[in-house]
């Protein structure tokens, strides 16, 4: 099963393999059950556009929907992203995997988009993903 979480929730994810879908893994704890998967994180340009929007006070649900989501969905069409997404679809049928990043508001985070994509690709997901994020498709 695929679950979404923030880094603050990692200690509560006993039994889950942790996939950090972040640009940089610095300050993250790693062991045999944690892996860094930058292919499912925002590209530098998109990440910096988010930081700039936040700095200017423009980061909100409307900016996320109009600017961030379409750009991130395009990014998820890359071969590298598709390979990781396909792996997650297969593994979700028999393993528990948590997709984790630093964002506290999941609804305005790329992990919600990844969750929706995976749900629409046929991954076995936490029911909360279907309810909130099934609108995200590539």
**Cα 56 from Cα 52, distance rounded (Å):** 6
**Cα 84 from Cα 62, distance rounded (Å):** 28
DSSP type of residue 23? S
On the question of pLDDT at 29 being above 80, the answer is no
SS3 81: helix
Q: In what order do the strands lie in the sheet with 2-6?
A: 2-6, 97-101, 17-20, 34-36
Count of CB atoms situated within 10 Å of the CB of 124: 18
Percentage above 90 pLDDT, the chain: 91
Categorize the per-residue pLDDT at 26 as very low, low, confident or very high, splitting at 50, 70 and 90.
confident
Place of tokens 């704890």: 29
Q: Tens digit of pLDDT for each residue in 40-65?
A: 999 999 999 999 999 999 999 999 99
What pLDDT is recorded for position 83? 98
Percentage above 70 pLDDT, the chain: 100
Q: What are phi and psi of 137, to 5 degrees?
A: -135, 150
Q: What are phi and psi of 96, to 5 degrees?
A: -100, 120
What pLDDT is recorded for position 31? 80
The arithmetic mean of pLDDT across residues 72-96, rounded, is: 98
* Domain spans of the chain, in order of start: 2-133
Closest CA to 98 of 128, 64, 132: 128
């Amino acid at each position: 099963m695929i679950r979404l979480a923030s880094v603050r929730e990692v200690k509560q994810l006993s039994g889950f393999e942790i996939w950090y879908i972040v640009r940089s893994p610095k300050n993250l704890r790693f062991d045999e059950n944690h892996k860094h998967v930058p292919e499912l994180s925002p590209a530098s340009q998109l990440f910096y556009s988010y930081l700039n929007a936040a700095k200017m006070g423009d980061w909100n649900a409307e900016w996320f929907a109009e600017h961030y989501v379409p750009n991130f969905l395009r990014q998820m069409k890359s071969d590298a992203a598709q390979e990781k997404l396909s792996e997650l679809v297969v593994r979700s049928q028999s393993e528990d995997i948590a997709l984790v990043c630093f964002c506290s508001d999941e609804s305005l985070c790329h992990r919600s988009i990844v969750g929706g994509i995976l749900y629409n690709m046929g991954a076995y997901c936490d029911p909360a993903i279907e309810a909130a994020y099934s609108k995200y498709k590539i």
